[in-house]
Amino acid sequence: MTYSNLLRVLILWMTISSCGNDDDEIVFPNLDFRQEMRDFVQEMRAYAKAQQSEFLIIPQNGQEILTVNSEPEGEVSSLYMNAIDAVGREDLFYGYTADDAPTPSEDRDFLLSICDVAKDHGKVVLTTDYCSTHSKMDDSYSKNQDSEYISFAADHRELDNIPSYPAKIHNENDNDITSIGEVKNFLYLINSSAYENKQALVDAIKATNYDLVLIDLFFNDESLTLADITSLKTKANGGSRLVICYMSIGEVEDYRYYWNGLDRKLVYKENPDWPGNFLVQYWEPTWKNIIYGNNQSYTKKIIDAGFDGAYLDIIEAYENFE
């Protein structure tokens, strides 16, 4: 092991130790972790809608909690279904086992069935497939359209670019998009590392004709402003669009503004695929207080910046505590 690798391991061990997330030492309460996630989203929705009545709540993945028994044919969890405006789904046709690889049929069929629960209850389904071969990107758009889903073929798993293919955005239009039901395509761009500064990021997005743009609140540590978001709400062709903010609620991220003041007892273990992201005990009031319910909360920052809604990631965090 090289010195640099040894140093990284030591730093990681110290971080984990300081977070108090030794699996052998943590005893989680006896909870229905799926219901806890439903409650979390429902409570956040109530707070957000009280601040801005048209604010959209869109959970990504974890569609199993749409039903009481987590099966497509199960009884719908009506309170949760009523709390959301759409659902997001990754890896439906491509990317489940590897980028640019078709999702295995058994997994694909289950995901289609559980996403259809949302669709059948009037919810828009936004899907993100991870594929870069042009024929596979075409296939992703075609299959999702056949399923009546709105899709984005991401050629970078990092979601750090505006794809150059297809040359014309799938289902591009100059319509005024004022509701989630009018959306025909979207851009998912939450990693801004390729852009020199915030204005370069804003200008690049403004030059597109996507109906919905899904971005982060921050460029590095700098928050996008109300003026920034307002400018993004017009497509290059003059039509209006929606701008939605990405927010992880099932994990904490060590590059976020809240990290230094975070109670480390809330932190569980690091995501092996995304260094710096740690599972959080999302049912705890201390974490919920960071996410919503007060003027310093993450949700209030998003609303004040002028976003049309929030795209909630790591909904499926309950799987790690069961």
Would residue 171 count as lying in a domain? yes
Q: Provide the pairing of β-strand 277-280 with 267-270.
A: antiparallel
Tell me the residue range of the domain where 192 lies: 30-320
User: What is the per-residue pLDDT for 5?
Assistant: 41
3-state helix vs strand vs coil in the chain, percent to 5: 35, 20, 45
In a domain, 272, yes or no: yes
- 12 located within any domain: no
Number of structural domains in the chain = 1
Q: What CA–CA distance (Å, rounded) separates 171 from 182?
A: 12
Given a cut of 50, the residues of the chain with pLDDT beneath it are: 1-24
Per the domain annotation, does 56 fall within a domain?
yes
Return the pLDDT at 27: 80
Q: For position 3, what pLDDT does the model report?
A: 36
CATH of residue 135's domain is: 3.20.20
Q: What's the half-sphere exposure (Cβ side, CA atoms, 13 Å) at 272?
A: 1
pLDDT digits (tens, 9 = 90+) for 34-46: 999 999 999 999 9
Could you tell me if residue 23 is inside a domain?
no
Pairing verdict, β 212-215 and 124-130: unpaired
Q: What is the pTM of this model?
A: 0.92
Q: Which of 317, 289, 314, 294 is nearest to 304 (CA)?
A: 294
User: Helix, strand or coil for residue 40?
Assistant: helix
Number of Cβ within a 10 Å radius of residue 146: 8
pLDDT in the model for residue 26: 74
| Amino acid identity, position 99 | D
Cβ(61)–Cβ(73) below 8 Å: no
Residue 270 lies in a domain: yes
Asked whether residue 14 is assigned to any structural domain, the reply reads: no
Q: How far is CA 108 from CA 65, 95, 103, 115, 143, in A?
A: 17, 11, 6, 10, 12
- Is 226 within 8 Å of 306 (Cβ atoms)? yes
Strands 86-90 and 267-270, sheet pairing: unpaired
Q: What does the pLDDT read at residue 25?
A: 62
- Report pLDDT for 16: 42
**CA–CA distance, 283 with 15 (Å, rounded to integer):** 22
